[in-house]
Amino acid sequence: MGDPGQPIRLRSSARTNTGKLRDNNEDNVHLWSRDHLVLAIVADGMGGAAAGEEASRIAVETIQEGLADPVTAETDPQMFLDEDSLTDRMRHAIRTANLTIVQRAERFPEFKGMGTTVTMVMVRNTYAVIGHVGDSRAYLVDGRDGHIIQVTADHSFVQALVSAGHISEEEAEDHPMKNVPVSYTHLTLPTNREV
């Protein structure tokens, strides 16, 4: 994050909800903040019962480990990473989490089919780097007028149809395959974004 923008004090909070369809919550959230830096990770598990919970837990813990060197965490190492280095580190952490989840599912039959979405953001002052996999979205909410902008695109079959111009956004809303994921051979993380 080469130019961190205007120095400001960041405030953050996290909250999750089981929703209307399930009794258990398969979400896992991590929020780490200092005065001018916030790392937020949300993983929405899938696979039912313990499997989704396990996948989201593995994702968050693996990403935490990949982004925070335990020896230097107190000196905020991310404060000194340039945008490309931070993006590479985020990408590597997500890939490592994915590999760990796949290996766990192969070793334990009760976790077969488990998976999770991941949406994460590293905010430093007025700039953010966002990484995500799946259909859990990141939004930018204007604190002055409440205007909301979606800043990520779903990694789903239906979003691929919309992006290719085969169906409209309105048709995607009720499409029967709207939650079917697509596989990616590599992850792309958006570049620095001023917030």
Q: CATH number of the domain at 27-194, out of 3.40.50.2000, 3.60.40.10, 3.90.1150.10, 3.40.50.1370?
A: 3.60.40.10
- Range with the lowest mean pLDDT among 11-25, 122-136, 176-190? 176-190
Q: What are the distances in angstroms from CA 7 to CA 45, 120, 127, 128?
A: 35, 21, 10, 13
Q: What are the distances in angstroms from CA 115 to CA 14, 72, 89, 94, 135?
A: 22, 31, 21, 13, 12
pTM score above 0.95: no
End-to-end alpha-carbon separation of the chain, Å?
Answer: 13
More confidently predicted of 126 and 195: 126
Give the tokens for residue 192.
Answer: 């620095």
Residue 54 pLDDT exceeds 50: yes
What is the overall mean pLDDT for the chain? 79
What are 66-117's pLDDT values in tens digits? 887 533 444 555 556 778 888 899 999 999 999 999 999 999 988 888 889 9
Give the tokens for residue 77.
Answer: 């190492």
Confidence of residue 40 (pLDDT cuts 50, 70, 90): very high
- The residue behind tokens 């590479």 is 88
